[in-house]
Amino acid sequence: MMVRTALARFKIQLGVTAILAALLALFITLSPQTFLAGRIYISFASTIPFATLLAVGLTFCIVAGELDLSFPSVMALSGLVFTWVFQATGSPWAGLSACLATGVAAGLINGLIVVGIGVPSIIATIGTQFLWRGAAIVLADGLARNIVEVRETAVHGLFVGRAWDVVPAHSLWCLGLCVVAWLLLNRHTFGDGLLFIGDDIRTARMMGVPVDRVRILLFAGMGGVSAFVSFLICLEMANWWPTQGEGYLLLVFASVFIGGTSVFGGRGTVYGTVVGSIIIGIIEAGIISAGLSGFWTRLIYGLIIVTAVSGYAVTLKTRRE
Amino acid sequence: MQQNIAAPHALELNGISKRFGPVVALEEVSFHLGANEILGLVGDNGAGKSSLVKVLSGVNRPDSGRFFIGGEAVDMRRYCVATARRLGVETVYQERALAEKQPLWRNVFVGRHKTNRLGLIDVDFEKRETEIILKEFLNLRGHGVSADAEVASLSGGERQGLAIGRAMYFDAGVCILDEPTTALSLGEVDKVLQFIRSIKNAGKSAVFISHNMRHIHETCDRFVVMDRGRITHDLLKKETSLEALSSILTGLANGEVSAS
């Protein structure tokens, strides 16, 4: 009985872990020389954390029944501000502060449009994703910005260096932030507010959840997370470019939904999202090392996403009646 | 009725008005709820009962009027759900009182979690207390219902019971019950009426809103009738039969001019 209840409570987490295990088993069988060696995992630890952090931020939005389509554009704008302030002052810390402030401010504006004016978040952020991207392109004159000198700074080592010469530092930052995110969602009143707002916003309001404040904070936080990821990417690449972040939109959404978060709100796990982003992150390497051409990548993404979300729909009986 | 002079009214409203745009939801509503009194609030749909509940519970702010809880004047500009609860006014809504997909313990403590300085919730404590509520108010031992169960797994009566149990747990002096018996099976209705009697026995007060005159007449000490945003009748149970109460309601529904 105890075991059955535990299994039922964690079925999403178990399901997504099973998908990852099956995928890894398949890749190990197809190309043992690659997937039984450590190097590929070090490389994953350097590529995956960017999407993981974004996906965890987006999980919070979707749990609360909100969408944010503007995060790739917020990344571009706040990354640009980072390169400017860094190059103007020579201080990467000043750059980071300005970058985070830009992201939070952009997120705050999203939040005010959604909560204050009342535009549904999917529509509001379709608008602002053009706005922030457009602003970044205009301000940068459409040109990429090289910041190779950032590699000489201590901040570079602290955030994207290699710990013990092996482990990418940003994977450790990502891990730490995921623990904080788990605490926020499952153990903090902020996360409790998100869950109730996503479940039924009128219930949340009647039960005394400060609905407006929580939602505005949510969007501001998503802006902050986007800015931090953009900062990490600028450091890692020593470069900023006008289309930064664009490739992440659908992959990040896919990570969240493979992770079992409900699009109807009120339900979602940080663990599921992290595993979901790992699944998305290892597929391409798995396909290439199995000897298939890279053209297969999208097709396999599609197969896995459709299978996973169908499995959840059947398990959780989400068909609309 | 002999009023106990020492005990102030649990609630007192004085000239409360509320409009939504051109619609007058409440017009100069004045009434009181005595200490340890169960008051039935009745009226047709659109009479203003729900608007009144939302004012009492702190969800909506009235445009004018004065409001006292336990004899103390309430600052209406600061009155919200949290203030209402702090002053001992708990509302059990007809629906949406609980979030379906969330575990019971979150629903019991939502909006007032026991937290540490960082805002982190004491989950063990809240689950333990929820188990006590389940045992004492709901008698759900045999069902294998735990604090981790989702609200969706409870029946309609159990949900109302949990919502009332939650109010009792937080020691509400005044419980406002907004149509708690609607859409319940007969056996479950009896359970909810039993919950309401237990409020009286515990020495607390309640406002009970329902369309079912038999339930109202059975459980309440006094009846207040509303029509089109106004209070039209204020009747003592011992002077009013079930038939008399029903005929007043039928009369109002048929558009007869109200008595006052």
Q: What are the structural domains, with CATH classification, of chain B?
A: 11-95+175-180+206-253 (3.40.50.300)
* Predicted TM-score (pTM) of this structure: 0.86
Q: What is the tens place of the pLDDT at every residue in A305-318?
A: 898 888 888 887 77
> Does A215 score more than 90 pLDDT?
yes
Cβ-Cβ contacts under 8 Å, A195 against chain B? 99, 101-102, 106
Cα dihedral sign, A125-A131-A133-A135: negative
Residue B78 has a pLDDT of 82
Q: What is the tens place of the pLDDT at every residue in B105-142?
A: 999 999 889 989 888 999 999 999 998 888 877 765 55
Nearest CA to B227 out of B58, B93, B52 is that of: B52
Residue A1 has a pLDDT of 46
Q: Write the ipTM.
A: 0.84
> Chain centroid to CA B72: how far?
20
Query: Does residue A318 sit at the B interface (CB-CB below 8 Å)?
Result: no
Report the distance separating Cα A168 and Cα A47, nearest Å. Answer: 9
Closest chain B residue to the Cα of A210, Cα to Cα: B111
Residue A195 has a pLDDT of 96
What kind and span of H or E run contains B142? none
* C-beta separation of A141 from A80 below 8 A: no
Q: What is the tens place of the pLDDT at every residue in A43-101?
A: 999 999 999 999 999 999 999 999 999 999 999 999 999 999 999 999 999 999 999 99
Average pLDDT, chain A: 92
> Chain centroid to CA B230: how far?
19
Cβ-Cβ contacts under 8 Å, B121 against chain A? 187-189, 192
- One DSSP character per residue, B169-230 reads HTT-SEEEEESTTTT--HHHHHHHHHHHHHHHHTT-EEEEE-S-HHHHHHH-SEEEEEETTE
Contact A203 B82 (CB under 8 A): no
The dihedrals phi and psi of A211, each to the nearest 5 degrees, come to -55, -50
Between A2 and B172, the more confident residue is B172
pLDDT confidence tier of residue A173, bands split at 50, 70 and 90: very high
Residue A221 Cα, gap to closest chain B Cα (Å):
17
Nearest to B81 among A5, A200, A206 (CB): A206
Beta strands in B63-130 (DSSP E): 64-69, 72-73, 89-92
* C-beta separation of A52 from A178 below 8 A: yes
Residue A114 Cα, gap to closest chain B Cα (Å):
21
What kind and span of H or E run contains B71? none
Residue A88 Cα, gap to closest chain B Cα (Å):
37
Tokens read off for A316:
């959780």
Contact B102 A206 (CB under 8 A): no
pLDDT confidence tier of residue B198, bands split at 50, 70 and 90: confident
Average pLDDT, chain B: 84
Domains detected in chain A:
11-315 (1.10.3470)
